[in-house]
């Protein structure tokens, strides 16, 4: 009997279990040494100077916007083809997310549309490395520099990827990551921000700890009880238990990225001569991290609609998904920011066609063959 294949899942191995168990037996379950060790490991992997580990990718996005002092009246340009958190984090800070459309070929933020949205209230651009493909940071950096804007990389899909041989995590003023179980590595729930800016780093460290300047371990080390709250922060702390898992997982990330790329090549080969199925374009100067494997399907030329295809694949234990409903189409944004259908036509049209197929390191060749064959057969 075929096993169920979700679109993404964690890989937990014996070394991960051992790392967590050792931390559970230690004196520090939170605000302890594993947090700093995990942050150092992230810096070593990405090449960035600083990293701040937090308890989710959403917290990472929020922290990065706090670091930039985004506030009421400020506008931040975001792509509509992303998860809601990218825009929500702007709203958390009192800012206004301004939705830019995406490229048809790769669903990354369209630089021309970004330039069209810039005005005197624009403070920052958030680029999303959709599916694991880094955005065009050469062009985005130029736009940001010419307009005196900050650039954030929402790299929650893309840790381990590269752009012109530079690591994701060192391509923007701040880069954010997610360690949810469906991502490349997991801490259960978790996230991080990387930056080379000392001021941003310090602001995010106290922001994750209620706006307080020191944490418990630092006060223990200094034999002091004194602390000050200098800003309104949040409890975005990540535990040592989670970081122990993250450290163990990070050691295997390069091998897991390679496996994801191999699976993507298998899918590409399977769909090469199928006119109805089009994988997203990959830039030759990019090393794709493949958090997702997304295809576009021309349903106007098929005998089956997407909802039926989705259900049929699920019946065959193939856990497809759709990433994403364009954020500007969600009722919250329509009701509170006056967004509407037609604002981002490329993203809206793509949404009607896209499906994400399973991709994770423990998939076998037969799993990939089953996924691709089932999809092709249902479209005949």
Give the HSE-up count for residue 2: Cα atoms under 13 Å, Cβ half-sphere. 19
Give the pLDDT score at 157.
98
Closest to 292 measured CA to CA, from 340, 245, 250, 354 = 354
User: Which of 125-139, 144-158, 210-224 has the least mean pLDDT?
Assistant: 210-224
3-state secondary structure of 216: helix
Asked, as a colleague might, if the bond just before 63 is cis with ω within 30 of 0, I would say no
Give the pLDDT score at 228.
87
The tens digit of pLDDT for each residue in 6-43 reads 999 999 999 999 999 999 999 999 999 999 999 999 99
What is the CB neighbour count within 10 angstroms for residue 232?
9
- Concatenate the DSSP letters of all residues of 87-124 into one string: HHHHHHTT-EEEEE-B-TTT-PBPHHHHHHH--TTEEE
Measuring CA to CA, how many Å separate 346 from each of 81, 174, 283?
A: 9, 27, 19
Backbone angles phi, psi at 357, to 5 degrees: -95, 155
> If you average pLDDT over residues 74-88, what whole number do you get?
98
Give the pLDDT score at 221.
75
- Concatenate the DSSP letters of all residues of 128-185 into one string: E-GGG----HHHHHHHHHHTT-EEEEE-TTTTT-EETTEETTSSSSEEEEE--TTSSS
Separation of first and last alpha carbons in the chain: 24
Q: Are 293 and 357 in contact (CB under 8 A)?
A: yes
**Residue 85 clears pLDDT 80, i.e. is over it:** yes
Confidence label for 308 from pLDDT (cuts 50, 70 and 90): very high
**Residue 144 clears pLDDT 80, i.e. is over it:** yes
Average pLDDT, rounded, for the chain = 97
The tens digit of pLDDT for each residue in 162-191 reads 999 999 999 999 999 999 999 999 999 999
The tens digit of pLDDT for each residue in 342-374 reads 999 999 999 999 999 999 999 999 999 999 999
Give the residue numbers marked as catalytic: 183
3-state secondary structure of 247: helix
CATH no., domain 14-250:
3.40.640.10
The domain limits of the chain are 14-250, 253-379
Give the pLDDT score at 219.
74
Can you tell me the distance from the alpha carbon of 130 to that of 153, in angstroms, rounded to the nearest whole number?
Answer: 11
Task: Judge: domain 253-379, CATH 3.90.1150.10.
Answer: yes
Q: How far is CA 183 from the centre of its chain?
A: 8
Percent of the chain clearing pLDDT 70 (strictly above)? 100
**Residue 218 clears pLDDT 80, i.e. is over it:** no
**Residue 199 clears pLDDT 90, i.e. is over it:** yes
**Residue 230 clears pLDDT 80, i.e. is over it:** yes
Q: How far is CA 79 from the centre of its chain?
A: 13
Whether this prediction's pTM lies above 0.95 is answered by yes
Confidence label for 227 from pLDDT (cuts 50, 70 and 90): confident
Give the pLDDT score at 10.
97
Confidence label for 213 from pLDDT (cuts 50, 70 and 90): confident
Give the pLDDT score at 179.
98
What is the CB neighbour count within 10 angstroms for residue 22?
11
Considering only CA atoms, give the Rg of the chain: 21
Residue-wise burial string across 125-145, b where 16 or more C-beta atoms lie within 10 A, e elsewhere: bbbbbbbbbbbbbeebbebbe
């Amino acid at each position: 009997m075929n096993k169920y294949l979700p679109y993404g899942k964690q890989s937990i191995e014996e070394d991960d279990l051992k790392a967590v168990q050792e931390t559970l037996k230690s004196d520090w379950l939170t605000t302890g040494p594993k947090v700093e060790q995990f942050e150092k490991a992230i810096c070593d992997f990405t090449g960035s100077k600083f990293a701040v580990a937090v308890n989710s990718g959403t917290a990472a996005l929020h922290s990065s916007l706090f670091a930039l002092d985004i506030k009421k009246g400020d506008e931040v340009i975001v792509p509509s083809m992303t998860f809601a958190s990218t825009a929500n984090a702007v709203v958390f800070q009192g800012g206004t997310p301004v939705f830019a459309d995406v490229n048809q070929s790769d669903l990354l933020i369209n630089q021309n549309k970004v330039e069209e949205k810039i005005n005197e209230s624009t403070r920052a651009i958030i680029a999303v490395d959709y599916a694991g493909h880094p955005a065009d940071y050469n062009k985005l950096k130029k736009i940001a520099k010419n307009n005196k804007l900050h650039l954030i990389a929402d790299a929650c899909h893309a840790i381990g990827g590269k752009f012109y041989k530079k690591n994701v995590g060192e391509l923007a003023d701040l880069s954010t990551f997610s360690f949810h179980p469906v991502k490349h590595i997991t801490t259960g729930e978790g996230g991080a921000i990387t930056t080379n800016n000392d001021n941003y780093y310090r602001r995010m460290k106290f922001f994750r700890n209620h706006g307080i300047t020191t944490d418990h371990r630092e006060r223990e080390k200094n034999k002091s009880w004194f602390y000050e709250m200098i800003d309104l922060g949040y409890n975005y702390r990540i535990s040592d238990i989670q970081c122990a898992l993250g450290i163990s997982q990070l050691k295997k990330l390069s091998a897991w990225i390679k496996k994801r790329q191999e699976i993507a090549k298998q899918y590409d080969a399977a769909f090469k001569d199928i006119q109805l199925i089009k994988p997203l374009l990959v830039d030759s100067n990019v090393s794709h991290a493949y958090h997702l494997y997304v295809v576009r399907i021309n349903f106007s030329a098929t005998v089956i609609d997407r909802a039926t295809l989705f259900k049929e694949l699920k019946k065959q234990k193939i856990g497809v998904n759709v990433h994403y409903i364009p954020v500007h189409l969600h009722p919250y944004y329509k009701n509170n920011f006056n967004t509407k259908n037609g604002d981002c036509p490329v993203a809206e049209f793509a949404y009607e066609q896209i499906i994400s197929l399973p991709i994770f390191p423990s998939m076998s060749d037969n799993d990939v063959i089953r996924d691709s064959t089932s999809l092709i057969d249902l479209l005949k």
